[in-house]
Structure 1
Amino acid sequence: MVRVRGIQVGATHQETLLIHELDDVCDTFTGRAMTGSWVWDSALLLSHYISTEFDLRGKTVLELGAGTGLPGLTASRLGADRVILTDVGPLLPGLRTNVEANGMCGRVEAYELVWGSDELPSRLTELVGEIGVDLVLMSDVFYDPSLMGAMTKTLKMVCGRETKIWAATEVRDSAVECLTELASHGFEAAELASRPLSQIIRDGSNCEDVGLSDSASSGLAEEAGIVAVAATEAGAVGAEHSVCSVAVCCSV
C-alpha cells in the first residue's frame, strides 16, 4: 500500500513536498517490515528546524538514514545546491520515488550506504574530496546503541572541519543510551535550546493533509530541545575530516 502525503515546509510553510509512504518494505535478510518508509515526528521537527535555523542556499547536504527523505528534500526545496540521500537498499526505491515526485532529479541523488562501511558511494566520495559536505542530517537514528560505533565511523569519513550535523529524535531510553555510547566514541552533547513541539505540529503549520499515525504520535511530548555535540579530543574524528559540531534536536 502506498500513501501520499503533502507536507508544507519552509519558514512560511508555503512550499509543499509530496512524500510517498510504503507499507510493504521489508528487510532483505530478516523479512521484517521496515518503518523507515514512513514519516515520523522527528523528521517533521528536523525539517522545520532547518527551515528556520540554517541558510541552505548554495550548500551541500547529506542525509544519513534518510527513510522517506523529508529533511533532505526540504533542504533542496530551500535552496541547497546538492543533496545526497542515503539509506539501506530496500528503502532506495521509495527515496527515488520521492525525489522524482518533487521534480528534484539532478539536484537530489539517492544511494545505498550502510553505516560502518569501509567505502562510501563514489558520488559521495567525490563530494567529500572536492567540495565538502556543509550539513549532515539525521532523524530518528538513536534507537540502537550497538549502531553508534558504525555511525561515528561513517560520520568521520564524510565530515570536514566546518561540517555541521543535525539530528532529530524523540527522547526514549534507547536514545539516551545511544547518546551515552556516542560519547564513548569521542562525542559529547550539550543542550542549546528548547521549543514547544505544538507550534510545529499541533497547529498544522508544518503539515497539510498529514495525520500523525497512532504509533508515531502516542508519545508526543510538549517541547523539543536542541543540544550540540562536539568531538571531545582533536584526534577523535581523524586527521583529514574533523567534525566541528553536531546538533541533536530532541523531543523532551
Structure 2
Amino acid sequence: MKSIVIKHEDIKVCEERIVVDVEDKSLDITLLLDEHELAPLFCGAAWAGTLVWEAAVALSNYVLNEVDLKPLRVLELGAGLGVPGMVAGLLGAKRVVITEQPELVPLIRTNIRRNIASLSSVEAKILSWGREATTSFCDEMGLFDLVLSCDCVYEPLYGESWRDLAQTMDVLCQHNPNCKILASVERRHADGINKFLSYIATDTTLKARQLIRIPKTERGLCDEGEVIEVYCITHNSM
C-alpha cells in the first residue's frame, strides 16, 4: 500500500516547514504567517487549521491508493493547510479548489504559490458552510466530482457546525448527483460524529457508509482519539 510521508522541519524559531512526499513528488509547505494574518487564528477554532491532523493523512493515503484523480474536479472543505487537496493536485486531478475560512485562505494560497509547478490546477477560495452560501459558491465555481473533508466534525471545538457542513454536502450533491464525498474523522469523546451521520440520514438527500476504520498510530499532546474512520457520502440516487 502506498502512503504519503509527512516531515516537519524547524527552520527558525517561528517558522516550521512541512514536506509532504507523495511517491516521487513533494510538496513544500510553510506555516510562516505575516503578523496581520497571525492574530485572527487565536479567535475561535481557526488555529486547528494550522496543523496536519492524522485524519488528513489517512484520507490522503486512501485517495492515493483508491481513486483515479485525473478526470476529476475536486473540492476540499474545511481544508486547514489543504494537504489532501494539494495531494490531489499533485496526483493530477483535473481541477482542485481548496476552501477554508477567510483567516486561513492566505496561508493556503502562499503554499500553492510555493508549489505552483506541481499545483497549477489548484486554487484556494473562501467558503462558509450552509445551503445559501454553498448554492452561491456552486453558481460561481461549477460542479465537483469529488469532495474531501478531513476532521471537520468535533463538537467541543466546532460546536454544531456539522449541521451546516451536512447542508453544504447536500447542496454539492444536489448540483451533481454523481458527486462522491470522502470524509475522514477522528473518533473522540463526545465528538458529535454520530449526530452528524444521523442528520445526514434524516435531514438531507444523502447517505453515508463507512469505508475503512484505522487505529491511530500516533498520539499528540491532549490527543484522546483512538481511531480514524473514512466515510463515503453520496446522493441517495447513487
Call closer, same or farther: CA 1:102–1:215 in 2, change over 3 Å: farther
Deviation at 1:52, TM superposition (A): 0.5
Report the counterpart of residue 125 of structure 1 in structure 2.
Answer: 139
**Unmatched 5+ stretches in structure 1:** 203-211, 235-243, 245-252
Supply the AA of the counterpart residue of 1:91.
L
- Partner of residue 138 from structure 1, selected from 142, 149, 157: 149
Deviation at 1:107, TM superposition (A): 1.4
Please give the alpha-carbon distance, in whole angstroms, between the structure 2 residues aligned to 1:148 and 1:115: 9
* Counterparts of residues 11-90 of structure 1 (less than 5 Å): 13-21=23-31, 25-27=38-40, 30=43, 34-90=47-103
Supply the AA of the counterpart residue of 2:201.
A
Q: Secondary structure at the match of 2:28?
A: strand
Please give the alpha-carbon distance, in whole angstroms, between the structure 2 residues aligned to 1:226 and 1:3: 28
CA contact (8 A) 1:192 1:225 kept: yes
Q: Secondary structure at the match of 1:192?
A: strand
Report the counterpart of residue 209 of structure 1 in structure 2.
Answer: none
Report the counterpart of residue 184 of structure 2 in structure 1.
Answer: 168
Supply the AA of the counterpart residue of 1:65.
G
TM-score scaled to structure 1, two decimals? 0.72
CA contact (8 A) 1:7 1:16 kept: yes
**Unmatched 5+ stretches in structure 2:** 1-13
The share of aligned pairs that are identical, in percent, is: 31
Q: Would you say how many aligned residue pairs link Structure 1 and Structure 2?
A: 213
Deviation at 1:225, TM superposition (A): 4.1
Please give the alpha-carbon distance, in whole angstroms, between the structure 2 residues aligned to 1:6 and 1:105: 15
State which drifts further: 102-111 or 114-123.
114-123
CA contact (8 A) 1:112 1:121 kept: no
Deviation at 1:58, TM superposition (A): 2.3
Deviation at 1:228, TM superposition (A): 3.5
CA contact (8 A) 2:180 2:232 kept: no
Matched, 1:191 2:210: yes
Supply the AA of the counterpart residue of 1:77.
L
- Partner of residue 182 from structure 1, selected from 200, 220, 230: 200
State which drifts further: 150-159 or 39-48.
150-159
Deviation at 1:105, TM superposition (A): 5.8
Q: Secondary structure at the match of 2:71?
A: coil
CA contact (8 A) 2:166 2:196 kept: no
Please give the alpha-carbon distance, in whole angstroms, between the structure 1 residues aligned to 2:171 and 2:76: 14
* Counterparts of residues 192-207 of structure 1 (less than 5 Å): 192-195=211-214, 198=217
Q: Secondary structure at the match of 2:21?
A: strand
Please give the alpha-carbon distance, in whole angstroms, between the structure 2 residues aligned to 1:33 and 1:192: 28
